[in-house]
Protein backbone atom coordinates (compact mmCIF):
# COMPACT_ATOMS: atom_id res chain seq x y z
CA UNK A 1 0.00 0.00 0.00
CA UNK A 2 2.83 2.37 0.90
CA UNK A 3 4.61 1.58 -2.40
CA UNK A 4 1.40 2.26 -4.33
CA UNK A 5 1.03 5.61 -2.57
CA UNK A 6 4.62 6.60 -3.40
CA UNK A 7 4.12 5.51 -7.02
CA UNK A 8 0.98 7.66 -7.27
CA UNK A 9 2.83 10.69 -5.86
CA UNK A 10 5.79 10.23 -8.22
CA UNK A 11 3.49 9.70 -11.22
CA UNK A 12 1.64 12.91 -10.38
CA UNK A 13 4.94 14.80 -10.27
CA UNK A 14 5.94 13.40 -13.67
CA UNK A 15 2.57 14.42 -15.14
CA UNK A 16 2.93 17.97 -13.79
CA UNK A 17 6.45 18.16 -15.29
CA UNK A 18 5.13 17.11 -18.71
CA UNK A 19 2.22 19.59 -18.57
CA UNK A 20 4.62 22.35 -17.43
CA UNK A 21 6.92 21.57 -20.36
CA UNK A 22 3.90 21.85 -22.67
CA UNK A 23 2.98 25.22 -21.14
CA UNK A 24 6.53 26.46 -21.66
CA UNK A 25 6.46 25.38 -25.31
CA UNK A 26 3.13 27.18 -25.85
CA UNK A 27 4.59 30.38 -24.39
CA UNK A 28 7.66 30.18 -26.62
CA UNK A 29 6.02 29.22 -29.93
CA UNK A 30 2.83 31.28 -29.67
CA UNK A 31 4.05 34.43 -27.92
CA UNK A 32 7.84 34.77 -28.12
CA UNK A 33 9.28 33.35 -31.34
CA UNK A 34 6.77 35.14 -33.66
CA UNK A 35 7.99 38.46 -32.23
CA UNK A 36 11.73 37.58 -32.25
CA UNK A 37 11.97 37.48 -28.47
CA UNK A 38 14.83 35.40 -27.08
CA UNK A 39 14.88 33.31 -23.92
CA UNK A 40 17.60 33.64 -21.34
CA UNK A 41 20.24 31.00 -20.65
CA UNK A 42 21.46 28.26 -22.93
CA UNK A 43 18.14 28.03 -24.77
CA UNK A 44 18.55 31.68 -25.76
CA UNK A 45 21.93 30.86 -27.32
CA UNK A 46 20.24 27.96 -29.15
CA UNK A 47 17.68 30.39 -30.56
CA UNK A 48 20.47 32.73 -31.72
CA UNK A 49 22.19 29.81 -33.49
CA UNK A 50 18.83 28.85 -35.06
CA UNK A 51 18.33 32.37 -36.41
CA UNK A 52 21.85 32.51 -37.86
CA UNK A 53 21.37 29.11 -39.53
CA UNK A 54 18.05 30.28 -41.02
CA UNK A 55 19.72 33.40 -42.36
CA UNK A 56 22.40 31.21 -43.92
CA UNK A 57 19.69 29.28 -45.79
CA UNK A 58 19.25 26.25 -43.52
CA UNK A 59 15.55 25.84 -42.75
CA UNK A 60 14.25 22.30 -41.98
CA UNK A 61 10.64 23.50 -41.85
CA UNK A 62 10.35 23.68 -38.07
CA UNK A 63 12.05 25.53 -35.22
CA UNK A 64 15.27 23.62 -34.58
CA UNK A 65 16.26 25.70 -31.53
CA UNK A 66 14.93 23.01 -29.17
CA UNK A 67 16.92 20.29 -30.98
CA UNK A 68 20.09 22.38 -30.74
CA UNK A 69 19.38 22.95 -27.04
CA UNK A 70 18.86 19.22 -26.43
CA UNK A 71 22.18 18.37 -28.14
CA UNK A 72 23.98 21.04 -26.09
CA UNK A 73 22.61 19.48 -22.91
CA UNK A 74 23.96 15.98 -23.59
CA UNK A 75 27.54 16.61 -22.30
CA UNK A 76 26.12 18.60 -19.36
CA UNK A 77 23.87 15.66 -18.40
CA UNK A 78 26.75 13.19 -18.68
CA UNK A 79 28.84 15.23 -16.23
CA UNK A 80 25.86 15.82 -13.94
CA UNK A 81 25.06 12.08 -13.82
CA UNK A 82 28.10 11.54 -11.61
CA UNK A 83 27.75 14.72 -9.53
CA UNK A 84 24.13 15.41 -8.55
CA UNK A 85 20.97 13.60 -7.45
CA UNK A 86 19.92 10.88 -9.91
CA UNK A 87 16.20 11.49 -9.27
CA UNK A 88 16.63 15.23 -10.00
CA UNK A 89 18.57 14.43 -13.16
CA UNK A 90 16.02 11.85 -14.34
CA UNK A 91 13.20 14.36 -13.97
CA UNK A 92 15.28 17.02 -15.71
CA UNK A 93 15.76 14.66 -18.67
CA UNK A 94 11.99 14.02 -18.69
CA UNK A 95 11.30 17.78 -18.66
CA UNK A 96 13.91 18.46 -21.34
CA UNK A 97 12.59 15.68 -23.60
CA UNK A 98 8.94 16.72 -23.19
CA UNK A 99 9.69 20.39 -23.89
CA UNK A 100 11.84 19.51 -26.94
CA UNK A 101 9.02 17.42 -28.44
CA UNK A 102 6.42 20.08 -27.69
CA UNK A 103 8.56 22.90 -29.11
CA UNK A 104 9.16 20.86 -32.28
CA UNK A 105 5.50 19.86 -32.78
CA UNK A 106 3.59 23.03 -31.81
CA UNK A 107 3.47 25.31 -34.87
CA UNK A 108 4.81 28.83 -34.52
CA UNK A 109 1.87 31.19 -34.68
CA UNK A 110 1.38 34.66 -33.22
CA UNK A 111 -1.66 34.79 -30.93
CA UNK A 112 -1.26 38.59 -30.69
CA UNK A 113 0.40 39.53 -34.00
CA UNK A 114 0.01 43.30 -33.50
CA UNK A 115 1.00 43.62 -29.85
CA UNK A 116 4.61 42.77 -29.14
CA UNK A 117 4.65 44.09 -25.59
CA UNK A 118 1.55 42.14 -24.54
CA UNK A 119 3.01 38.99 -26.12
CA UNK A 120 6.23 39.57 -24.18
CA UNK A 121 4.42 39.92 -20.85
CA UNK A 122 1.96 37.05 -21.42
CA UNK A 123 4.74 34.78 -22.67
CA UNK A 124 6.79 35.66 -19.58
CA UNK A 125 3.89 34.87 -17.26
CA UNK A 126 3.11 31.49 -18.88
CA UNK A 127 6.73 30.37 -19.15
CA UNK A 128 7.55 31.63 -15.64
CA UNK A 129 4.61 29.71 -14.18
CA UNK A 130 5.60 26.59 -16.15
CA UNK A 131 9.24 26.79 -15.04
CA UNK A 132 8.21 27.39 -11.44
CA UNK A 133 5.97 24.31 -11.48
CA UNK A 134 8.57 21.89 -12.82
CA UNK A 135 11.15 23.30 -10.39
CA UNK A 136 8.70 22.55 -7.57
CA UNK A 137 8.51 18.99 -8.86
CA UNK A 138 12.30 18.64 -8.38
CA UNK A 139 13.22 19.05 -12.04
CA UNK A 140 14.82 21.71 -14.19
CA UNK A 141 14.96 22.69 -17.83
CA UNK A 142 18.65 21.82 -18.07
CA UNK A 143 21.30 24.16 -19.44
CA UNK A 144 22.98 26.65 -17.12
CA UNK A 145 20.67 25.66 -14.25
CA UNK A 146 22.60 22.38 -14.04
CA UNK A 147 25.97 24.12 -14.46
CA UNK A 148 25.01 26.61 -11.75
CA UNK A 149 23.98 23.78 -9.43
CA UNK A 150 27.34 22.07 -9.93
CA UNK A 151 29.15 25.33 -9.17
CA UNK A 152 27.06 25.80 -6.02
CA UNK A 153 28.07 22.32 -4.91
CA UNK A 154 31.79 22.64 -5.54
CA UNK A 155 32.48 26.38 -5.43
CA UNK A 156 30.93 28.22 -2.49
CA UNK A 157 31.57 31.61 -4.10
CA UNK A 158 29.23 30.93 -7.01
CA UNK A 159 25.48 30.52 -7.34
CA UNK A 160 22.77 29.81 -9.89
CA UNK A 161 21.55 33.42 -9.87
CA UNK A 162 25.02 34.84 -10.48
CA UNK A 163 25.70 32.41 -13.33
CA UNK A 164 22.37 33.27 -15.00
CA UNK A 165 23.05 37.00 -14.65
CA UNK A 166 26.44 36.71 -16.36
CA UNK A 167 25.11 34.43 -19.12
CA UNK A 168 22.08 36.62 -19.86
CA UNK A 169 24.21 39.78 -19.96
CA UNK A 170 26.41 38.21 -22.64
CA UNK A 171 23.39 36.81 -24.49
CA UNK A 172 21.48 40.08 -24.75
CA UNK A 173 24.57 42.05 -25.70
CA UNK A 174 24.95 39.50 -28.51
CA UNK A 175 21.29 40.00 -29.50
CA UNK A 176 21.82 43.75 -29.62
CA UNK A 177 24.91 43.40 -31.83
CA UNK A 178 23.55 40.71 -34.19
CA UNK A 179 19.93 41.83 -34.41
CA UNK A 180 18.74 45.12 -32.93
CA UNK A 181 18.39 47.07 -29.70
CA UNK A 182 14.62 46.50 -29.49
CA UNK A 183 15.09 42.71 -29.75
CA UNK A 184 17.44 42.83 -26.76
CA UNK A 185 15.11 45.14 -24.77
CA UNK A 186 11.97 43.04 -25.31
CA UNK A 187 13.93 39.88 -24.52
CA UNK A 188 15.12 41.42 -21.24
CA UNK A 189 11.56 42.42 -20.36
CA UNK A 190 10.43 38.84 -21.00
CA UNK A 191 13.24 37.43 -18.83
CA UNK A 192 12.39 39.81 -15.98
CA UNK A 193 8.67 38.89 -16.04
CA UNK A 194 9.48 35.18 -16.31
CA UNK A 195 11.90 35.36 -13.36
CA UNK A 196 9.44 37.20 -11.11
CA UNK A 197 6.61 34.72 -11.79
CA UNK A 198 8.94 31.74 -11.45
CA UNK A 199 10.22 32.97 -8.07
CA UNK A 200 6.65 33.48 -6.81
CA UNK A 201 5.79 29.86 -7.60
CA UNK A 202 9.13 28.26 -6.84
CA UNK A 203 10.08 28.55 -3.15
CA UNK A 204 13.01 26.13 -3.31
CA UNK A 205 15.63 28.30 -1.65
CA UNK A 206 13.55 29.76 1.18
CA UNK A 207 15.33 28.10 4.10
CA UNK A 208 13.31 26.48 6.88
CA UNK A 209 14.61 25.47 10.29
CA UNK A 210 12.83 22.33 11.56
CA UNK A 211 12.99 20.83 15.05
CA UNK A 212 11.38 17.42 15.53
CA UNK A 213 10.71 16.17 19.06
CA UNK A 214 10.13 12.42 18.95
CA UNK A 215 10.30 9.29 21.11
CA UNK A 216 11.11 7.16 18.08
CA UNK A 217 14.52 5.54 18.58
CA UNK A 218 15.04 3.17 15.64
CA UNK A 219 16.95 5.70 13.51
CA UNK A 220 14.84 5.04 10.40
CA UNK A 221 13.36 8.56 10.38
CA UNK A 222 16.76 10.21 10.16
CA UNK A 223 17.90 7.72 7.53
CA UNK A 224 14.91 8.44 5.28
CA UNK A 225 15.27 12.22 5.70
CA UNK A 226 18.89 12.01 4.58
CA UNK A 227 18.09 9.67 1.67
CA UNK A 228 14.95 11.40 0.39
CA UNK A 229 15.92 15.05 0.98
CA UNK A 230 19.69 14.85 0.89
CA UNK A 231 19.85 16.92 4.10
CA UNK A 232 21.87 16.34 7.24
CA UNK A 233 20.23 15.69 10.60
CA UNK A 234 21.59 16.76 13.99
CA UNK A 235 20.36 14.79 17.00
CA UNK A 236 19.95 16.00 20.58
CA UNK A 237 18.64 14.20 23.64
CA UNK A 238 16.08 15.80 25.93
CA UNK A 239 13.80 15.12 28.88
CA UNK A 240 10.18 16.23 29.18
CA UNK A 241 9.87 18.62 32.16
CA UNK A 242 6.36 17.41 33.02
CA UNK A 243 6.55 13.67 32.20
CA UNK A 244 10.29 13.22 32.82
CA UNK A 245 10.27 10.98 29.71
CA UNK A 246 13.33 10.84 27.49
CA UNK A 247 12.93 12.09 23.94
CA UNK A 248 15.08 13.00 20.95
CA UNK A 249 15.24 16.35 19.17
CA UNK A 250 16.15 16.17 15.48
CA UNK A 251 17.36 19.39 13.89
CA UNK A 252 17.11 19.85 10.11
CA UNK A 253 17.64 22.79 7.74
CA UNK A 254 15.75 22.33 4.46
CA UNK A 255 14.10 24.39 1.74
CA UNK A 256 10.48 25.45 2.01
CA UNK A 257 9.58 23.19 -0.92
CA UNK A 258 11.03 20.18 0.90
CA UNK A 259 8.93 20.83 4.00
CA UNK A 260 5.90 18.90 2.73
CA UNK A 261 7.95 15.75 2.05
CA UNK A 262 9.73 16.17 5.39
CA UNK A 263 6.41 16.27 7.27
CA UNK A 264 5.23 13.20 5.38
CA UNK A 265 8.37 11.27 6.41
CA UNK A 266 7.98 12.34 10.06
CA UNK A 267 4.31 11.34 10.21
CA UNK A 268 5.08 7.95 8.68
CA UNK A 269 7.58 7.13 11.43
CA UNK A 270 5.99 8.96 14.36
CA UNK A 271 2.42 10.33 14.04
CA UNK A 272 2.78 11.90 17.52
CA UNK A 273 6.01 13.78 16.82
CA UNK A 274 6.09 17.48 17.74
CA UNK A 275 7.30 19.64 14.81
CA UNK A 276 8.54 23.24 15.10
CA UNK A 277 9.33 25.26 11.94
CA UNK A 278 10.94 28.64 11.46
CA UNK A 279 11.07 30.12 7.94
CA UNK A 280 13.51 32.50 6.22
CA UNK A 281 16.50 31.54 8.34
CA UNK A 282 19.96 32.54 7.10
CA UNK A 283 22.43 29.69 6.70
CA UNK A 284 26.21 29.98 6.33
CA UNK A 285 28.70 27.19 5.74
CA UNK A 286 28.26 23.80 4.12
CA UNK A 287 24.61 24.07 3.05
CA UNK A 288 23.51 23.13 -0.49
CA UNK A 289 21.21 25.55 -2.31
CA UNK A 290 19.12 23.78 -4.93
CA UNK A 291 17.95 24.94 -8.33
- Alpha-carbon gap, residue 96 to 126, rounded angstroms: 17
- Listed by start position, the domains of the chain span 2-201, 207-279
Taking alpha carbons only, the member of 221, 199, 204, 198 closest to residue 260 is 204
Please provide the CATH number assigned to the domain covering 207-279. Answer: 3.30.70.120
Strand duo 207-214 + 234-239: pairing: unpaired
pLDDT in tens, 28-48: 999 999 999 999 889 999 999
pLDDT in tens, 51-108: 999 889 887 877 899 999 999 999 988 888 887 777 888 889 999 999 999 999 999 9
Q: How would residue 173 be classed by pLDDT, with cut points 50, 70 and 90? A: very high
- Alpha-carbon gap, residue 217 to 220, rounded angstroms: 8
Amino acid sequence: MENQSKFAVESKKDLIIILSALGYAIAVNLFLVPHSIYNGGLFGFSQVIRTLLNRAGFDPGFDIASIIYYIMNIPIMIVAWFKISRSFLARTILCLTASTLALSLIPIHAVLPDDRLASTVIGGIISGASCGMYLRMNASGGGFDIIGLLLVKYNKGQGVGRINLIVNTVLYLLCMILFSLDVAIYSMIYTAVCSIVMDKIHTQNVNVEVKIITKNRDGEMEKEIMEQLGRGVTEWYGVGAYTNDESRVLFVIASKYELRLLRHIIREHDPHAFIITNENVRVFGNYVKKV
